[in-house]
A = this chain, B = another copy of it.
Amino acid sequence: MNGREEEPVFEVAIVVPKKREKEGDENRDCVEFLVQELKTAGLIVERVCGISDEFIKLAAPPETLGRAATELQIKKLTYIGMELQFEWDQVTAFVTQPDGSLFSWFERFRCFHHLIYRIVNRTEADLTLKFDDEKKRKQLLKNWALNWLDFTSQPVDEIYLYYGTKIATYFSFLGMYTRWLFFPAALGLALQLIDFGSMQLLVLPAFFIFIISWAVFFFQFWKRKNSALLARWGINYSLSEYKALDTEMNSLNRVHADHEKNFDANKPIEKKILQRDEWLGLLLRIRNNTVVALAIICLQLPFELAYAHLYEITESYTLKFLLTAVYLLAIQYYTQIGGKMSVILINYENNQGEESSSASLVYKVFGLYFMQSYIGLFYHALLHRNLTTLREVLIQRLIVSQVLENLMENAYPYLKYSYKKYKAVHKKMHEQGSSGGKRIRLTTRVEKEYLKPSYTACIGKELEDGLFDDYLELALQFGMIMMFASAFPLVFCFAILNNITEIRTDALKLLVMLRRPVPRASATIGAWLNIFQFLIVTAICTNCILLVCLYDQEGKWRIEPGLAAILIMEHVLLLIKFGFSNFVPEEPAWVKANRVRNVVQVRDMYSKQLLRSISNLEKKRD
C-alpha cells in the first residue's frame, strides 16, 4: 500500500489447519494449489509454518486491490465531490487517504475479502481471515497507547488509517469528552474545597445550571467535530444526511429484493405495499419495545429495589459486601439473558438495514442497563433522602467497579490468549512425544495474532463489535455523573481520572490484547447520541428532585397528591412530545423509495461516463 510498492505490507493472512506429515502429499498439494491461486489473483504471498496451523500471509499491490474494487463496484469519492463507482482505469479521479494511499482500511478489507473468497469458493477449503501489519501497529503503540503524557490528545488520523472510521470516531469522542470534562471537574473540586458561607444555598443550583449547559454545548460541538471528521475522511455528506443514507440504501435494497426489479413507487399498488410494510414495521417495533419495557419493569425493578432496600437496612460492612457480591453475580446473569433476548427480538423486527437494527438493539440493551445502574441510586436519593449512602454508592461505582472493569477488560482477553497459546504448545509437545526438554515458542507474529481473541460485544457478534461495550460504559458513566451532579459535585473528578486511563487502556487493549477488528463503515456515534441526549433531559429532572430533597430537610415542602399527579403528567407529555417524532418517520416510505431509487439510478447509469471526464480533468490539472 502506501505507494511504496517495493516493500509489501502483509495485512491479511489465511489459516490452514496443518495436518500430520503422514497424511502426506495431498495436503501439501492443496495448500500449494491455494498459494498458486492467490498468486494468480495478483497477491503477494508468504507462507509461514506455525505450531499447529499453517499461515499464508497476503499483501496486495495497489493494482490488484484496484481491480477487486472495480469488480465490487465500490463507491468512492471523486475530486469533483460526487461518489462514483470505482474504476481502476480512471484511478486519478478518486480522492486519496490522508497518508496518500488510495484505499481506506475498510475498502482494502472488502477487497481482500472479495479476492480470497472468490478463490475459496472455487477450491472449497476451510479458511479464516486475520490481519497483521507490524509496522503501523508499533508506531501506534508508541504514539498512542503508551503516550500517557498526552492525557487526551490522540493521533486520530493514524487510528483511522489503521482501524477505520468507527473506532477512530469512538476515540475522538472519548478524547473530546474527557477534554471537556476538565471544566466541570475543576468546578466540582472548587465546590468541595471552598466554603461559600451564606451563598452556599445558591451554589448548588448554579452548578446544576452550569452542568446542564455544559452538556448541551458539548454535544452540539461534538456534532460539529463529527462533521469535520467526516469531511477529513472524505465522506462528503452532512451529518444528518450521512445518518439517513445508510438506512435508505438498505431499505432500497430490501425493497428490490422483495419485489421485482423495475419497482416504481409511483404506481398505486407498489405504493400500497410500501405503506403496508412501513406500518407493519412500526407495529412490530412498538410490540417489541413493550415486551422489553414490561420485562424491565416487572422482573428487574423488584429485584433491584430489593437489593437497594437490603443494602439500606444492613448495618455491618461484611454483610453489605456479601450482599453486593451476590447481587453482582445475579445481575450479570440477568443482563446477559436480557441482551440475548433483545438480539432475538430484533430479528423479528423488519428493520431497514443493519444501522437501524443496531440502533434498536442499543436502545433495548441500554434500557436494561439503565435500570440496573440507576434504580438503586434513585432509591437511596429520592425515597430515603439518604445522600450519604448515595455518595458511597457513587464512589464505589465510579472507582471500584470501573477500575475492576478496566482490569477485566484487559485481563480477560490476555488470559484467553494465554490459554490458547498454552493449548497449542501443549498439543505440539504431546505430538513430539518425549523429545521435550526443548521448549517450544511461538515465534511468528502471524500465529500470535491468530490466537488472540477478537473484539466482540457482550451481547453477540452479529450486529455489533466491542465498541458497543465501550460506548455502554461511557453512557452509564455519563448518566451517573450528570444525574447526581448536584448531590455530589466531586463525581466529575473521578470521571475524568477514569477517562484518561480509559483512553490508554482501550488503546492498549485494541493494539496488544485483541486481534485487529474487522473494520465497520459507520462514522458517527449513532444511536448513542440519542441516549446521551436522553440522559441530559433525565438529568434535568433528577437534579431538580435532588435539589428539592436537599433544601427541604425538614420535609415542609409537602406536595399534594393532586399537584404531584399533574406534574408527573406534564413530564410524561413532554417526553411524548419529544420522543414521538422518532417513531413515525417524517417521510412516507414510498416517497423515500422513489427518491433513493432515482439517486441510485443516476449514479449507476452515468458513473463511467462521468469518471472518464473527471479523470481527464485531473490529468490536465496535474
Listed in ascending order, the chain A residues whose CB lies under 8 Å from chain B are 80-82, 205, 208-209, 212-213, 216-217, 220-221, 223-224, 227-228, 230-231, 236-241, 244, 536-537, 540-541, 544, 547-548, 551-552, 556-557, 559-560, 562-563, 566-567, 569-570, 573-574, 576-578, 580-581, 584-588, 591-592, 594-595, 597-599, 601-602, 605-606, 609-610, 613
Does the CB pair A81–B537 fall under 8 Å?
Answer: no
Q: How many copies does the complex hold?
A: 2
Contact of A613 among B540, B591, B609 (CB under 8 A): B609
Contact of A573 among B212, B569, B577, B595 (CB under 8 A): B212
- Whole-angstrom distance between the alpha carbons of A581 and B215 in the complex? 12
Contact of A557 among B562, B578, B591 (CB under 8 A): B562
**Known interface pairs A224-B586, A548-B563, A548-B566. Does A209 touch B595 (Cβ–Cβ under 8 Å)?**
no
Does the CB pair B591–A227 fall under 8 Å?
Answer: yes
- Whole-angstrom distance between the alpha carbons of A220 and B601 in the complex? 29
Q: What's the least CB distance linking A589 to chain B, in Å?
A: 10
> Which residues on B sit within 8 Å (CB–CB) of A584?
220-221, 224
Does the CB pair A540–B240 fall under 8 Å?
Answer: no
10 extra interface residue pairs, beta carbon distance < 8 Å, beyond A548-B563, A574-B574, A610-B610: A81-B599, A81-B602, A212-B576, A216-B576, A217-B580, A223-B586, A237-B595, A238-B244, A556-B560, A557-B562
**Known interface pairs A227-B587, A595-B237. Does A544 touch B566 (Cβ–Cβ under 8 Å)?**
yes
> Which residues on B sit within 8 Å (CB–CB) of A586?
220, 223-224, 227, 238-240
Contact of A601 among B80, B551, B597 (CB under 8 A): B80
- Whole-angstrom distance between the alpha carbons of A541 and B547 in the complex? 21
**Known interface pairs A544-B567, A548-B563, A586-B224. Does A216 touch B580 (Cβ–Cβ under 8 Å)?**
yes
Q: What's the least CB distance linking A285 to chain B, in Å?
A: 15
**Known interface pairs A557-B560, A586-B239, A610-B606. Does A577 touch B227 (Cβ–Cβ under 8 Å)?**
no
A551, A552, A569: most-surrounded residue (chain B CB, <10 A): A569
Does the CB pair A537–B569 fall under 8 Å?
Answer: no
Does the CB pair A220–B580 fall under 8 Å?
Answer: yes
- Whole-angstrom distance between the alpha carbons of A585 and B223 in the complex? 9
- Whole-angstrom distance between the alpha carbons of A547 and B584 in the complex? 30
> Which residues on B sit within 8 Å (CB–CB) of A570?
540-541, 544
> Which residues on B sit within 8 Å (CB–CB) of A220?
580-581, 584, 586
Does the CB pair A595–B556 fall under 8 Å?
Answer: no
> Which residues on B sit within 8 Å (CB–CB) of A578?
578
**Known interface pairs A205-B569, A569-B209. Does A81 touch B610 (Cβ–Cβ under 8 Å)?**
no
A205, A536, A557, A609: most-surrounded residue (chain B CB, <10 A): A557
> Which residues on B sit within 8 Å (CB–CB) of A595?
81, 231, 236-238
Contact of A563 among B208, B239, B559, B587 (CB under 8 A): B559
- Whole-angstrom distance between the alpha carbons of A599 and B613 in the complex? 16
> Which residues on B sit within 8 Å (CB–CB) of A601?
80-81
> Which residues on B sit within 8 Å (CB–CB) of A606?
610, 613
- Whole-angstrom distance between the alpha carbons of A592 and B237 in the complex? 9
> Which residues on B sit within 8 Å (CB–CB) of A239?
586-587
Contact of A609 among B223, B602, B609 (CB under 8 A): B609
- Whole-angstrom distance between the alpha carbons of A541 and B613 in the complex? 59
Contact of A238 among B227, B228, B587 (CB under 8 A): B587
The secondary structure that dominates the A interface is helix
> Which residues on B sit within 8 Å (CB–CB) of A591?
227-228, 230-231, 238
Q: Which chain B residue shows the least CB distance to A265?
A: B231
**Known interface pairs A238-B244, A586-B224, A595-B238. Does A573 touch B209 (Cβ–Cβ under 8 Å)?**
yes
- Whole-angstrom distance between the alpha carbons of A240 and B242 in the complex? 13
> Which residues on B sit within 8 Å (CB–CB) of A544?
566-567, 569-570
Q: What's the least CB distance linking A487 to chain B, in Å?
A: 14
**Known interface pairs A224-B584, A587-B239, A594-B231. Does A574 touch B244 (Cβ–Cβ under 8 Å)?**
no
Chosen A-B contacts, 8 in total, with CB atoms closer than 8 Å, are: A80-B602, A212-B573, A227-B586, A237-B595, A537-B577, A557-B563, A559-B563, A567-B567
> Which residues on B sit within 8 Å (CB–CB) of A573?
209, 212, 540
- Whole-angstrom distance between the alpha carbons of A577 and B532 in the complex? 12
**Known interface pairs A240-B240, A573-B209, A595-B238. Does A82 touch B536 (Cβ–Cβ under 8 Å)?**
no
- Whole-angstrom distance between the alpha carbons of A42 and B537 in the complex? 63
Contact of A587 among B224, B536, B610 (CB under 8 A): B224
Q: What's the least CB distance linking A93 to chain B, in Å?
A: 12
> Which residues on B sit within 8 Å (CB–CB) of A240?
240, 586
Q: What's the least CB distance linking A147 to chain B, in Å?
A: 26
- Whole-angstrom distance between the alpha carbons of A151 and B358 in the complex? 46
- Whole-angstrom distance between the alpha carbons of A592 and B282 in the complex? 34
> Which residues on B sit within 8 Å (CB–CB) of A574?
537, 540, 574
- Whole-angstrom distance between the alpha carbons of A499 and B507 in the complex? 63
A212, A213, A221: most-surrounded residue (chain B CB, <10 A): A212
Does the CB pair A576–B213 fall under 8 Å?
Answer: yes
Q: Which chain B residue shows the least CB distance to A225?
A: B588
Q: Which chain B residue shows the least CB distance to A235?
A: B595
Contact of A577 among B208, B237, B244, B536 (CB under 8 A): B536
**Known interface pairs A595-B237, A598-B236, A605-B80. Does A588 touch B228 (Cβ–Cβ under 8 Å)?**
yes
> Which residues on B sit within 8 Å (CB–CB) of A552?
562-563
